[in-house]
Amino acid sequence: MDIRTALLDKYGARVYKNRKDHILTVPSDGSMPVVGANSRSLPGIMTERGCCYAGCKGVVVGPIKDVVTITHGPIGCGYYTWGTRRNKARPSIEGQRQENMPMLNQYMFSTDMQEPNIVFGGEKKLRKACEEAIEIFHPKAIFICATCPVGLIGDDIHAVAASIEEDYNVTCVAFSCEGYKGVSQSAGHHIANNQIMRHIIGSGSRPLPTPFTVNILGEYNIGGDGFYEEALLARCGIHVRSAFTGNASIEEIASAHQANLNLVMCHRSINYIADMLKTRYGTDWLKVNFIGIEATKKSLRDIANYFGDQELLDQVEAVIAEEEARYAEDFAYYRSKLSGKTAGLYVGGSRSHHYQLLLKDFGVSTVLAGYEFAHRDDYEGREVIPSIKLDADGKNIETITVQPDPAQFRTYLTPEGAQRLKETHPEIELNDYKGMIVDMEAGALVDDDMNQYETEELMRLVKPDIFFTGIKDKYVVQKGGTLCRQLHSYDYSGPYSCFQGAANFARDLVASLYTPVWGMIRVPWKSRPAILAHTAVGGED
């Protein structure tokens, strides 16, 4: 019985029918399998997915540092998104220090709805909350995020936002991201993308310091990843206008449309904006990945080749050579300690893909990977998008279409330039993403929306040396004797991006694999070990 069959075997008929489409083995013939992604989770089987509100407030909107984001709802939802993603930020706009910038992403604002607000409606309370926020924090903008009850009792948060904007001249945007919408966080990403596109992007203007100005879309600066990326790009001569949305200020986002290229890190959460920026302003986007040594090198070269400037290309090569030389010794040592190990990955939007490349740099092969809330294009590549059938849950999420903005539409590359780029650099996938599976080895397992039960079983069946996931399933994996590290918040470590980040990551991994505890789990008064951790072998050499 192969692993997939063994895993599905424990399920009853109904669950089996549902789950079989989510679990597959990467074919050895190079064909692309179909993943049953972005469909409802089964009740009662512990999914690791969050809700629509989590995707909107927790992921996309929350990190913006100079905006008051008010959670309109009972206290829990707001409380649980308070500082939990370790989105780092510093008081600056486009790298320039701002003395008086309020760092509002450290705060959690909630209307703390009580029973009477549910019965009589919460609009008045929300309006007053906005007024109080203006009075005390003088923010440049207020965002309002809805929770489950808001949609049910029919509070018109958009009307409140409009009236606040009208009365106080403060940008105010409402997000109807009630938790029950869609099937996962992903719905919330889409809703956030739509509103940011509609109300924020294009409303500002700032001078471009260099034509090599980019946005990094889908970089949430967890553990400080974005700081490294920004610094590395700056050394190459590439200026970052804005990051969506780690360490972002509202002004940067408002003028993001002026950048000449968009870099996409997390494809899932931000591809809508990348797409809409292309349509409305003509800006090309490039899927990049700064997680992994080779991936970072490719990303830097792709950017330089896109701009096609020889000085920039030379500078990129110089920076790469310098960085590789600096960490060569570290990389070699860590590779010697990690090579030959196997890993499992279960993270959110694009990380399960990104980290496979980083692991590969150190000789670790990925035998199991899955996404929490991805769509088929994240697995199979964007070419499947036209063939994705919208189900009832998908249809409930608004899709907005934008038109080219005649005043501001311009592409950096001329049509001839684009043609030339295609010919000289066929490896550059402009405005495209090929998905995770193309980078996986044949025979590896893909599990979409991996639930707690499957996680536990797969540890037994696949036996990876290391499993990367989040806090919720971390302890189940660890109790089962497999080393587990968090990739949502990096177990309070990081940054893991670019060259130095790769060294940080490898250091943490070696520290975990070779900690003495694995050797001590053998209980001295018992003849056989209490736990047979695969990692114990590593601890003994």
| Ranges within 169-208 binding other proteins (CB under 8 A) | 169-170, 179-184
Task: Name which of residues 114 to 153 contact other proteins (CB under 8 A).
Answer: 114-118, 120, 125-126, 128-129, 132-136, 138, 140, 147-149, 151-153
* E strand segments, 316-405: 342-347, 365-371
- Asked if 157 is part of the footprint of other proteins (rule: CB under 8 A), the reply reads no
- Asked if 8 is part of the footprint of other proteins (rule: CB under 8 A), the reply reads no
Q: Is 378 left (phi over 0), alpha (psi -120 to 50) or beta?
A: alpha
* Residue 236 C-beta: closest distance to other proteins, Å: 32
CA distances from 296 to 27, 270, 317, 399, 430 (A): 28, 20, 12, 32, 17
* Residue 249 C-beta: closest distance to other proteins, Å: 14
* Residue 11 C-beta: closest distance to other proteins, Å: 8
Q: Give CA–CA dist 324/56, Å, rounded.
A: 38
Is the peptide bond preceding residue 495 cis, with omega within 30 degrees of 0?
yes
Q: Select from 25, 82, 95, 156 the one that contacts other proteins (CB under 8 A).
A: 82
Task: Name which of residues 335 to 354 contact other proteins (CB under 8 A).
Answer: none
* Residue 438 C-beta: closest distance to other proteins, Å: 30
**What letter represents residue 376's amino acid?**
R
* Residue 16 C-beta: closest distance to other proteins, Å: 11
Closer to other proteins by CB, 219 or 457: give it.
457
Q: Give CA–CA dist 46/283, Å, rounded.
A: 41
Q: Which of 37, 54, 89, 236 is catalytic?
A: 54
Closer to other proteins by CB, 141 or 217: give it.
141
**3-state helix/strand/coil string of 361-375:** HCCCEEEEEEECCCC
* Residue 448 C-beta: closest distance to other proteins, Å: 15
* Residue 258 C-beta: closest distance to other proteins, Å: 23
> How remote is the C-alpha of 490 from its chain's centroid?
13
Closer to other proteins by CB, 327 or 453: give it.
453
Q: Select from 33, 76, 404, 443 the one that contacts other proteins (CB under 8 A).
A: 76
Q: Give CA–CA dist 90/498, Å, rounded.
A: 20
- Asked if 471 is part of the footprint of other proteins (rule: CB under 8 A), the reply reads yes
Burial of 160 (0-12, 13-18, 19+ CB in 10 A): buried
Q: Is 418 a catalytic residue?
A: no
Residue written as tokens 């490294």?
228
Q: Which of 19, 72, 189, 353 is catalytic?
A: 189
Is the peptide bond preceding residue 84 cis, with omega within 30 degrees of 0?
no
Residue written as tokens 């025979």?
443
Tell me the number of residues near other proteins by CB under 8 A.
94
Closer to other proteins by CB, 33 or 116: give it.
116
* Residue 172 C-beta: closest distance to other proteins, Å: 13
- Asked if 108 is part of the footprint of other proteins (rule: CB under 8 A), the reply reads yes
The contact pattern for other proteins, residues 377-416, with x = CB under 8 A and - = no contact, is: ---------------xx--x--------------------
Q: Select from 9, 167, 314, 383 the one that contacts other proteins (CB under 8 A).
A: 167
Task: Name which of residues 428 to 457 contact other proteins (CB under 8 A).
Answer: 452-453, 456
Q: Which of 22, 85, 241, 267 is catalytic?
A: 85
Closer to other proteins by CB, 162 or 418: give it.
162
Write out the DSSP string of 106-150.
Answer: G--EE----HHHHHH-SHHHHHHHHHHHHHHH--SEEEEEE-HHH
Q: Is 85 a catalytic residue?
A: yes
Closer to other proteins by CB, 180 or 333: give it.
180
Closer to other proteins by CB, 386 or 492: give it.
492
* Residue 15 C-beta: closest distance to other proteins, Å: 6
- Asked if 375 is part of the footprint of other proteins (rule: CB under 8 A), the reply reads no
Closer to other proteins by CB, 224 or 435: give it.
224
Q: Give CA–CA dist 487/266, Å, rounded.
A: 14
Task: Name which of residues 13 to 72 contact other proteins (CB under 8 A).
Answer: 14-15, 40-54, 70
Greatest C-alpha distance within the chain: 79
Task: Name which of residues 489 to 528 contact other proteins (CB under 8 A).
Answer: 521
What residues form DSSP beta bridges with 468?
Answer: 345, 485
Q: Which of 71, 194, 94, 75 is nearest to 142 (CA)?
A: 71
* Residue 47 C-beta: closest distance to other proteins, Å: 6
Strands 171-175 and 141-146: parallel
Q: Is 392 a catalytic residue?
A: no
**3-state helix/strand/coil string of 42-94:** CCCCCCCCCCHHHHHHHHHHCCCCCEEEEEECCHHHHHHCCCCCCECCCCEEC
Q: Is 266 a catalytic residue?
A: no
Work out the angle between the directed axes of helices 185-199 and 267-281 (0-180°, nearest 10). 30
Residue written as tokens 């989770």?
41
Half-sphere exposure of 429 (CA within 13 A, CB side): 12
Closer to other proteins by CB, 76 or 211: give it.
76
Closer to other proteins by CB, 123 or 230: give it.
123
Residue 82 near residue 108, CB atoms below 8 Å:
yes
DSSP letter at 430 equals: B
* E strand segments, 297-435: 342-347, 365-371
Q: Select from 8, 80, 402, 510 the one that contacts other proteins (CB under 8 A).
A: 80
Q: Select from 474, 487, 498, 501 the one that contacts other proteins (CB under 8 A).
A: 474
Q: Which stretch binds other proteins (CB under 8 A): 28-36, 104-112, 290-298, 376-384?
A: 104-112
Q: Which of 51, 56, 369, 374 is catalytic?
A: 51
Q: Which stretch binds other proteins (CB under 8 A): 112-120, 208-216, 318-326, 381-389?
A: 112-120
Catalytic machinery residues? 51, 54, 85, 189
